[in-house]
């Protein structure tokens, strides 16, 4: 097997549900949206996730990931990523998963964990810098992993059938490919977030009486 193939398998492993980042425990505000009756069906879940990917944290994470892969300063990007987290739960989500990602890689390779915990997209960027994989492909797989986790949360909490969940994920392939293509050449000047409903739901989730997910 060629080196690029092995690199791709490493990236797929890092972004798979089996990698212990605890991603299954976070709903990115989806639990609140379902509780409020805003996301109740296959169609509304697709709309909600599309907005997150194209106009919310999904887009910003893609740009941050691209910037990190290009070799930009991770400390400065991490400060920017934290500033872009619109709520305490958004910040908790990206920092906890980033720290878990770095810890799992360190334990897997018997290496040391970065003394400076990084938000998730930058932890992935740091790990993937040395892989011979095009930036666009890294972003697409990262976004697919993010979408997969949220589809799984929707299937469990709305609830939806597994087939409906897979239809939603398949319908997101086109938007994910387009986001990856745009983000691969984007800079921090292109960061923008207009998924305001998702941010409001994230803030409201902090005080939700009965919670299944962390965010």
CATH number, residue 96:
1.10.4190.10
- Specify the residue for token string 């805003």: 38
- The model's pLDDT over 82-95, given as tens digits with 9 standing for 90+, comes to 999 988 889 999 99
Number of domains forming the structure of the chain: 1
DSSP structural state of residue 207: T
Domain for residue 149, yes or no?
yes
How far is residue 96's CA from residue 175's CA, in Å, rounded to a whole number?
Answer: 27
Confidence of residue 206 (pLDDT cuts 50, 70, 90): confident
Phi, psi of 21 (to 5 degrees): -100, -10
Q: How far is residue 110's CA from residue 87's CA, in Å, rounded to a whole number?
A: 34
- Domain range holding 103? 24-205
130 vs 139: which has the higher pLDDT: 139
pTM comes to 0.93
Question: For residue 154, is it within any domain?
Answer: yes
* pLDDT per position as a tens digit, 34-85: 999 999 999 999 999 999 999 999 999 999 999 999 999 999 999 999 999 9
Whether 29 is in a domain gets the answer yes
Cα–Cα distance measured from residue 25 to residue 29, given in angstroms and rounded to the nearest whole number? 12
Encode pLDDT of 96-119 as tens digits: 999 999 999 999 877 666 567 899
Q: Give Cα 11 distance to the centre of its chain.
A: 14
Which residues lie below 8 Å from residue 26, measured CB to CB, with a gap of 6+? 93, 97, 149, 153, 213, 214, 215
């Amino acid at each position: 097997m060629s080196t690029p193939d092995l690199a791709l398998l490493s990236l797929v492993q890092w972004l798979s549900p089996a990698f212990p980042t605890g991603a299954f425990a976070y709903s990115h505000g989806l639990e609140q949206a379902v509780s409020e009756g805003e996301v109740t069906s296959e169609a509304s879940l697709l709309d909600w996730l599309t907005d997150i990917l194209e106009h919310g944290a999904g887009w910003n994470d893609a740009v941050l990931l691209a910037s990190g892969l290009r070799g930009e300063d991770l400390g400065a990007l991490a400060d920017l990523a934290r500033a872009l987290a619109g709520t305490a739960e958004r910040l908790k989500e990206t920092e906890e998963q980033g720290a878990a990602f770095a810890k799992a890689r360190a334990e897997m390779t018997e290496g040391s964990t970065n003394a400076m915990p990084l938000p998730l997209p930058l932890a992935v960027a740091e790990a993937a810098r040395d892989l011979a994989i095009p930036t666009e492909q890294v972003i697409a797989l990262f976004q697919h992993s993010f979408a997969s986790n949220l589809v799984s949360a929707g299937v469990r909490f709305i609830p939806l059938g597994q087939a409906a969940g897979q239809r939603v994920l398949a319908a997101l392939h086109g938007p994910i490919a387009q986001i990856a293509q745009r983000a691969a050449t984007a800079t921090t000047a292109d960061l923008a977030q207009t998924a305001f409903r998702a941010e409001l739901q994230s803030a409201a989730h902090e005080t939700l009486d009965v919670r299944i997910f962390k965010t």
